[in-house]
Every structure is written in structure tokens, then in C-alpha cells.
Structure 1
Amino acid sequence: MLHLGVIGAGYWGPNLIRNFASIDDVSLEQVADINKAALEKIKADYPGVRTTLDPHELLASDVDAVCIATSAPTHYELTREALLQGKHVLCEKPLTLKSEEAQELVQLSDERNLTLMVGHLMLYHPAIRKIKELIDSGKLGDLLYVNSIRVNLGIARSNENVLWSLTPHDLSMILYLFDNEMPLGLSAAGQDFLTPGIEDIVFVSLFFAANRLGHVRASWIDPTKIRRLKVAGSKGMVVFDDVGADSTLKFYDEWIEPKGDGGFEHHRNFTPHVYEIEKAEPLRLECEHFVQCVLEGKKPLTDGRNGLAVVTILERAQASLKEKGAYKSL
């Protein structure tokens, strides 16, 4: 049995609380939040769970593990304190706002033999797992590029740009599909329209070895909601439209083959194969994975090093943004 506490009951925390409260191997002991109204809601929904306005009280308690779902600037301090208190940690993305802080947390969790996992949710989506399976099986041939779009007329922020707020999902997916290989370098461009210095739209290009490419477009000032991942290989392509219950995963048995004489052979099949996507909530799978890793001593799919890799890319992309798309090596 895993005795667990959750810090953060605002925007995302209730979803984590709902899932952990329904897992058989978890005893949800306590929830902390600085908002009294949020805690009153938790008390009403989960009468047996203790609440506190002080996250340090929870961290000093006898829980085995904590889930941190607070604002990004607080992640480092809370995660560090949790690890020093001997707690296993699931921290929402991004793990930290500085790569040296993420590195410190990874080292601390290693030294204390504690599980450190980051909430890179999309890696637990059945469709993303299927795409990885298709790549690994050779069905797409050699991986050429991955293009991810995440746009909507969404929740704009004045204290965090769209790069740090939205793209961790896409960057973690791209790294996963490239076998966690770090890109050689990157370029990022964007623009601030609503709040000076806070980009509302970004374009990030990731340059991998062997002439392969990753690209992310993210915005919260787009008229349509699009969450689309395109994966192109030398022998086929995949398109995943992530639109909730109507999400689709399509394989296109199409590619262009160079003939060596300057010409090309076009292999076309206009009817894609549609894969069934397992009807499982990715967040539920993420929470179950964390519990399993703690109880069985397994390495998480999205461990601290995975979190460090994403923060490192974000950091370099932010530097590129400031220089209007300048290339930054990694």
C-alpha cells in the first residue's frame, strides 16, 4: 500500500486526486493547497482525506510519496524538500525552470534511491505508445521527422509563456519517438501579443543527427483547437489527431523514393489504415505507473532524467527566442 499526499488542488490537482483516490494500492492521506476554498471542495468530495494550507506540514508527515501539482516556479523547492524528507515524487511538468536545478533533483533522487517521475502525460497515451510500436517495428522505415501542433484559443498566461506552458508535452513526445536521443541543436521563434515579453505563439525546430527533424508549433491565440502529431518515415507516415473521444490514429502507406538519377518514385495509397485507440485515460495510466514504480522499484518511463532533458531543451529554446530564432547547440 502506498500512502500518498498531493500538493496542489487547483487547476490540475483535482484530476490527480480523483485518479489516486480510486487506485486500490493507494491510500490518499492528505492534500495541501494555499486556497481554502479548494480544500473545502476536497473535504466535501473525499471526507476521509486530511487537508492543510501548509505544504511543508504534508512533506513532514509520514506519507511515502507526494504528487506535486503546483505552479511551475514552486516545483524545484517542493520536490527538493520532498526528496530530502525521503518521499518518492511525481512532479507535474516542467520539473524545474533551470536545468541545473533539475540535475540536482535527479542526483538527489539517485543518492537516496527514491523514485522521481515527471508528469509528461502524453507518453502514457495509448496512441503515442502505438506510434512508437510502429516506428520500432520498422513499419515506417527510417524515421525522418516529427511535427507536433498544439494550438487553441486557450488559457492565456501573463507569468509564463507558451513555450514553457504547452510545449513540454510535445517535446517529451518527440524525445520518446527518437528513443530519448537529444537533438544536436535547435531554433525557436515566437511573438508576444498580449503581455510584453511573454510569447503567445512559438515555433521550435529540433535538429537531430542523421538529418532528422522535430518541429513544434504552439499557441493559445488560435481560432481552432488542434492537437495533431505527424510522423514521417522513409516507408510510411502516421497522423494522430488528439481530439478527445473522437481521436484518430491513421497510418498512410505512402512515401517518396529517390531513384538516384534525380527522379523520384511516388508510392501512393489514398486510403489510410485507421487504428483503434485504446479507451484508457492517459492520466490514469500515468498515476498507476507511478504507483507501480514506487512499489516495485522500477524506473519510470518519464523519470527525472527525462524531465531534465525537456527542461534543457526549453532553456535553450528560450535563449533562441530572445535572439529571434538563433541556432543553439545542445
Structure 2
Amino acid sequence: MLGISVIGYGYWGPNLVRNFSQVANARVVSVCDQRPERRAHVESVYPAIRTCADVRDVWSNPAVDAVAIATPVFSHFDLALQALRAGKHVFVEKPFTTTSAQAEQLVEEAEKRQLTLMVDHTFVYTSAVRKIKELIDNGSTGKIYYYDSVRVNLGLFQHDVNVLWDLAVHDLSIMDYLFERSPVTIAATGMAHVPGQPENLAYLTCYFDNDLIAHFHVNWLAPVKVRQTLIGGAQKMIVYDDIEMSEKIKVYDKGITLSDNPADIYQLKVGYRAGDMWAPRLDNIEALQIEANHFADCIANKRKPLTDGTVGLRVVRILEAASQSIAQRGAPINL
């Protein structure tokens, strides 16, 4: 029986406790949070789960085999490093760390101790993203030309990270999973409209080593909530709308055809193809439940997680470079 302790019971912690409690051959042993009111809430909802205010109680508990960290970003590195050194497997909420150097150290520590290190990139485990991955891998879309994402809403301002680290991290993890390759150059611009606070609006462009390009628009100061991604392929184009309830993915048989006929030299060489649209059926399994089961399975069978520390490191490298680019007013940064 895998014993799990959840560290941090704020916004995301309750979701982790609920989903890890449903994993077969696993149980939530304890919840650690410094706030007495949050510990009291755990005790009222889950009387069988112990609570504590000091993480040292987690490290010294032999019943705890793994920890799930759902605390502010600045604390991820120290907590994860302490957990690994205490011999615990680690599941860390996104973003993984605040620097790539920290991420590299955690990856090395986990490998040295042969412990499972997994980053909570939840969207990778959604049925919608898994279906998109299937369509790309089986050749349905043809060569991918671009990835264009908008993730905006009003509110939820963060004080320790800018909007890219908070929102774009989702789309960067999706991009990393779908394309299985990293950009070579990035450029980003952003603006902070609240004095003394991080950027609340940003645009990020990722350039790859061919003609693939990815663009991300994120904003905490938008009048509406939009979660939409366009993926353009040579054969098919995909619209992924995470807010849509019944048809999150729509696949369009639309595109262009190019003519190489010498007779067309004085004619427009670009033709247009317009076919059908279809919406594939998706399952309704909660992504975090799939993710929790995956974490437990990787520990039990010594498998590499789909979103392991190396994936988290690649995403942090892009975010780190993006912050550098913003500071230089959009100057390109080579990775």
C-alpha cells in the first residue's frame, strides 16, 4: 500500500487529496499545512487522515512513501529536495521550479536515489489532449505548421510569478507532449498594469528548427475567459476549446494545396481545400485521476512518468528564457 502525504491544502491540495484517496493500493496518510483552519478542514472531511504543521513530521514518517507538493512556486525546490533526500517519491504542482538550475538539481537527485519525480502538468492527461496527440501521431493532421493558443481570464492575479509562469505553463506542457521536441529560439513581450506586481499580460513565440511556430497569448486582465488553441496541419486543422462542454475538439478537413505545374506560373499557386468537420468522442474521466493513478503505477513498476522532472525542466527553461526576453523588450533568446 502506497502511503502519500499532501503538502499544502490551499487551492489545489483538496483536489490532490480527493484523487489520491481514490487510487487503488494507495492511501493518503497525512496532510501538512501551516494554517490551523486548513488542517481543521481536512480533519472534518477526512477524519482518518492525520494532519501536521511541520514538514519534518512528513519526512520522518515511515508510513509516507511519496509526497504531493501543492505549495507556492518559490517553495517547490526546497520541499522537493528535502523529500527526495528523505527517500520519498515526489509529485510537484506546476510550475516545477523557479529556475532551470533548481530543476536540474532535482532531476539529478531523483535519478541518483532512484526515486520517481513527476510534475503536475494536468492538461497532458486530459482526454482532449490525448486525442490530439493520437491524431498527430497517426498522421491524420499531416505536417504541423503552427500551434496558436489563447488563455485569458479576469482575476486570479499571482504575486510570486508572472502570467506566463501561471497560465502559459499549461500550453507549454501540452506543446512539449504533442511535438516531443523543444524550440530553439523564443521571444516574449509583456506588461504589468498593477504597480509592483509581475506581468499580467504576455505574448510568447516559440521558433523550432523547421517551419513550425508556436504562439501563446495569456492575460489575467481580460473581460471573458477564453481557453482556445488552434493547431494547423497540412492535412487537417484542429480547434481545441477547453471551455466547450460537449465538443472540446473539432477537426477540420481544411487547408491549402500548392501547384508546381509550370503552366501555372502566372496563376495563383495556392489552392484551397474545404471538407468536413467532425468532433471525436472523448471520455469523461477526470485528468487528475488519470494522473494520480499514473504516479502510483510509475512508483510500483519503476516506470518513467509521462511528465517527469525532465519534462518539467524543459518547460522551466522556456519560461526562464521568456522572462529574460520580456526584460529585454522582446529580444530573441536562444535555448
Q: Which has the larger radius of gyration?
A: 2
1:98-137 aligned at under 5 Å gives the runs: 98-137=99-138
| Match 2:302 to one of 297, 314, 327 | 297
Structure 1 residue 309 corresponds to structure 2 residue 314: yes
Relative to structure 1, the CA distance from residue 121 to residue 138 in structure 2 (aligned partners, 3 Å threshold; closer, same or farther) is: same
Structure 1 residue 268 corresponds to structure 2 residue 274: yes
1:167-182 aligned at under 5 Å gives the runs: 167-179=168-180, 181-182=181-182
1:118-157 aligned at under 5 Å gives the runs: 118-157=119-158
Q: How far, CA to CA, are the matches of 2:56 and 2:146 in structure 1?
A: 44
CA distances 1:98-150 after superposition (whole Å, capped 9, x unpaired): 10110000001001100000001110011101001100111111011111211
Structure 1 residue 81 corresponds to structure 2 residue 82: yes
More off after superposition, 40-49 vs 157-166: 157-166
TM-fit CA distance, 1:157: 2.0
CA distances 1:25-60 after superposition (whole Å, capped 9, x unpaired): 112111000111011000011101110011221122
Tell me the amino acid that sits aligned with residue 270 of structure 2. F
| Match 1:319 to one of 321, 324, 328 | 324
Q: Which residue of 2 aligns with 1:24?
A: 24
Q: Which residue of 2 aligns with 1:227?
A: 227
Q: How far, CA to CA, are the matches of 2:258 and 2:82 in structure 1?
A: 56
> TM-score normalized by structure 1?
0.97
TM-fit CA distance, 1:189: 0.6
Residue 124 of structure 1 contacts residue 286 of structure 1 at CA under 8 Å; is this kept in 2? yes
Q: Which residue of 2 aligns with 1:2?
A: 2
Q: How far, CA to CA, are the matches of 2:230 and 2:184 in structure 1?
A: 21
Q: How far, CA to CA, are the matches of 2:246 and 2:226 in structure 1?
A: 13
More off after superposition, 235-244 vs 310-319: 235-244
TM-fit CA distance, 1:211: 1.2
Q: Which residue of 2 aligns with 1:278?
A: 283
> TM-score normalized by structure 2?
0.95
Q: How far, CA to CA, are the matches of 1:27 and 1:290 in structure 2?
A: 13
Tell me the amino acid that sits aligned with residue 215 of structure 2. H
Q: How far, CA to CA, are the matches of 2:195 and 2:81 in structure 1?
A: 31
TM-fit CA distance, 1:272: 1.1
Relative to structure 1, the CA distance from residue 247 to residue 52 in structure 2 (aligned partners, 3 Å threshold; closer, same or farther) is: farther
Tell me the amino acid that sits aligned with residue 206 of structure 1. C
Q: How far, CA to CA, are the matches of 2:77 and 2:332 in structure 1?
A: 28
Q: How far, CA to CA, are the matches of 1:190 and 1:90 in structure 2?
A: 30
Q: How far, CA to CA, are the matches of 1:96 and 1:242 in structure 2?
A: 26
TM-fit CA distance, 1:156: 1.2
Structure 2 gap ranges (5+)? none
Q: How far, CA to CA, are the matches of 2:300 and 2:241 in structure 1?
A: 34
Residue 158 of structure 1 contacts residue 195 of structure 1 at CA under 8 Å; is this kept in 2? no
CA distances 1:261-303 after superposition (whole Å, capped 9, x unpaired): 451110012x411111211111111111101111111110000
Instruction: Report the 3-state secondary structure (helix = DSSP H, G, I; strand = E; otherwise coil) of the residue aligned with 2:213.
Output: strand
More off after superposition, 197-206 vs 306-315: 197-206
TM-fit CA distance, 1:244: 6.1
Q: How far, CA to CA, are the matches of 1:183 and 1:163 in structure 2?
A: 16
Tell me the amino acid that sits aligned with residue 192 of structure 1. A
Q: Which residue of 2 aligns with 1:236?
A: 236
Relative to structure 1, the CA distance from residue 85 to residue 176 in structure 2 (aligned partners, 3 Å threshold; closer, same or farther) is: same
Q: Percent identity?
A: 38
Q: Which residue of 1 aligns with 2:186?
A: 186
Structure 1 residue 210 corresponds to structure 2 residue 215: no
Relative to structure 1, the CA distance from residue 222 to residue 246 in structure 2 (aligned partners, 3 Å threshold; closer, same or farther) is: farther
Instruction: Report the 3-state secondary structure (helix = DSSP H, G, I; strand = E; otherwise coil) of the residue aligned with 1:144.
Output: strand
Q: How far, CA to CA, are the matches of 1:195 and 1:66 in structure 2?
A: 36
Tell me the amino acid that sits aligned with residue 7 of structure 2. I
Aligned residues: 328
Residue 73 of structure 2 contacts residue 160 of structure 2 at CA under 8 Å; is this kept in 1? no
